[in-house]
A and B are shown apart, each in its own frame.
Chain A
Amino acid sequence: MTRQFVFNGFVTGMLVALPAVALTLTYGILRFPNFAIGAMLTAGAYIAFGFNAWLALPLLWSAALGAVVFAAVAVGIDQAVFRPLRERSAITLLVASMGVSFVLENVARFIFGNQARSYEIPLARPNEILGIQVNSEQVITAATAVSAMCAVYIILRHTWLGRAMRAVSDDPALAAVRGINPGRIVRWTWALTGVLIGIAGVLAGMDRAIDPLLGWNYVVTVFAAAILGGLGNPLGAIIGALTVGVVEETSTLVIPPNYRQVVSFMFIALILLIRPQGLLGMQRLRK
């Protein structure tokens, strides 16, 4: 029984890791917590739903196309909303992201309606492995999340884009006098986070029904994961997501499932009290 909950929590953690890494990447570069992460996740789920249900494309293609389209949407949101506010405080940008969240949610409501939707995917019985029930959605979620995390790692560590993103994250002014165009790197960062959020939206839509509030179910958990790992640290976000996922899921052994998000709130409160820089916060060197 406990093993099953730990496994489920691990898979949920992998799903949460994608938006948590997206949140931490934008925080690292732009220094504001993007509150619209939940609504963006919803939008990503709906875009893929459009390809899947309206154009009758297989879910794999719908997810891939949806991620690319949402990457463009994320860049567009940045250029229209966040770019004019770039020099403002983090609080201003946070409030702007709340506005973006509100607009995205209502655009989804306007286009797709309020009723719950789901992807066109075949139903399958779960398989039992070592006494744990494993369904195909969980396998897809785990495989997709691990692939996406590996891709992000390779991009950050071994490509020009990753080096430039880390340089801008360290010091945007110094990056500029080293010949890096910070504006271009910001756009690439939004594109990358857009892909991650788009993919996470599809995985969330496979896990739950797609409705205009889909992303809200993950907002607190995503923030808890990113804060636990240390905002701005992608590896920390992954560790934080897996930890929060497993603890949230296993907590339902002792508290009613409706209260599981209380665990995330407690994580945020405890971490901010005890170790505000997060688990891996010390690994990031200050100037």
Chain B
Amino acid sequence: MTPALHAEGVVAGYGATDIVKGVSAVVPPGQIFGVIGPNGSGKSTFVKALAGLIATRRGEIRLADRSIAQLTPSQRVMAGIAYVPQEYNVFPNLTIGENLRVSSEFLGARRASAEQRDRVLAMFPEVAGRLKLRAGYLSGGQRQMLAFACALMASPTVLLLDEPSAGLAPKLVSAIFERVKAANGTGLTIVLVEQNVKEAFGIVDMVMVLVNGTVRLLATPNEIRTKHDLHRLYLG
């Protein structure tokens, strides 16, 4: 079966420094693929490279059969990738309704249908009833929900989530993870970068442990729980 997303030997970074040093990952369709690791391990840089926000210096990224490594971020969205940044993930001076609208109206054939919009709004009642409110007035959790909803408006085939639970109250963390699971239930492939390992292990199918920009381990959550010591993996 063709993977939904295939990264091969991806090298990316800032300035003269490589942060991600030859990371490879194969994500089958319909999976939730977790990326964990200590602070500074290159998790966020890796998904930014997948989204096109950071240039891929070496390596290849394929979305299904299509090479996307040389595409701009907006072209990757058109190809079927959606990305939710950890922070700065909504347009604060646009209303909630406008945030949702701009997330789909430039996508040509991928433009969300009325049914898709209704489905997304039904999934996120926190934002559905406040479409005229400026997004800058939302709390951190509500922003995260809106950002998630905006990403789904693009009808992606692969969704990249960068630490969606960062800085949120435990109750909200559970709510976010429920939505991730629900989105995955529709057949959506998800790459989930997380620090909250306990919650993440509850929903991911496969886990990639990144340390110092390289892959330390690729295993199922169960294998990691039973055969490995996460602290040791993190610290080498």
Given contacts A163-B102, A176-B74, A179-B77, are A170 and B93 in contact (CB under 8 A)?
Answer: yes
B20 at the interface (CB under 8 A from A): no
What residues of A have a CB within 8 angstroms of the CB of B73 in the complex? 173, 176-177
Q: Assess the B102–A178 pair: CB atoms within 8 A.
A: yes
B92 at the interface (CB under 8 A from A): yes
Q: Assess the A178–B77 pair: CB atoms within 8 A.
A: yes
Query: Which of B82, B92, B150 touches A286 (beta carbons < 8 Å)?
Result: B92
Residue of A nearest to B84 (CB): A177
A174 at the interface (CB under 8 A from B): yes
Given contacts A177-B73, A285-B134, are A167 and B88 in contact (CB under 8 A)?
Answer: no
User: Which parts of A60-89 form the interface with B (CB within 8 Å)?
Assistant: none
A273-287 vs B, Cβ < 8 Å mask (1 yes, 0 no): 000000000001111
Shortest Cβ gap from A273 to chain B (Å): 26
User: Which parts of A230-287 form the interface with B (CB within 8 Å)?
Assistant: 284-287
A54 at the interface (CB under 8 A from B): no
Q: Assess the A174–B78 pair: CB atoms within 8 A.
A: no
Interface centre among A173, A174, A179, A284 (most CB of B within 10 A): A179
Q: Assess the A179–B93 pair: CB atoms within 8 A.
A: no
Residue of B nearest to A178 (CB): B103
User: Which parts of B105-127 form the interface with A (CB within 8 Å)?
Assistant: 105-107, 110
A173 to B78, CA, bound (A): 16
B68-87 vs A, Cβ < 8 Å mask (1 yes, 0 no): 00001110111000110101
What residues of A have a CB within 8 angstroms of the CB of B103 in the complex? 178-179
A285 to B134, CA, bound (A): 9
What residues of A have a CB within 8 angstroms of the CB of B134 in the complex? 285
User: Which parts of B48-81 form the interface with A (CB within 8 Å)?
Assistant: 51-53, 72-74, 76-78
B201 at the interface (CB under 8 A from A): no
Given contacts A181-B72, A285-B134, are A164 and B92 in contact (CB under 8 A)?
Answer: no
Chain B interface size, as a band, is 20 to 34
Q: Assess the B106–A160 pair: CB atoms within 8 A.
A: yes
Given contacts A163-B94, A167-B91, are A179 and B78 in contact (CB under 8 A)?
Answer: yes
Q: Assess the A180–B92 pair: CB atoms within 8 A.
A: no
Residue of B nearest to A168 (CB): B91
Q: Assess the B137–A179 pair: CB atoms within 8 A.
A: no
B195 at the interface (CB under 8 A from A): no
Given contacts A160-B105, A177-B51, are A166 and B88 in contact (CB under 8 A)?
Answer: no
What residues of A have a CB within 8 angstroms of the CB of B110 in the complex? 179
Q: Assess the A180–B91 pair: CB atoms within 8 A.
A: no
Shortest Cβ gap from A80 to chain B (Å): 22
Q: Assess the B102–A285 pair: CB atoms within 8 A.
A: no
What residues of B have a CB within 8 angstroms of the CB of A182 in the complex? 74
Minimum-distance CB pairs A-B, first 3: A285-B136, A176-B73, A179-B77
A-B contacts, 8 of them at CB < 8 A, read A160-B106, A163-B98, A170-B93, A171-B88, A173-B88, A176-B74, A177-B76, A179-B107
Could you list 4 further interchain pairs (A-B, Cβ under 8 angstroms) beyond the known A177-B76, A179-B154?
Answer: A171-B88, A174-B91, A178-B154, A180-B102
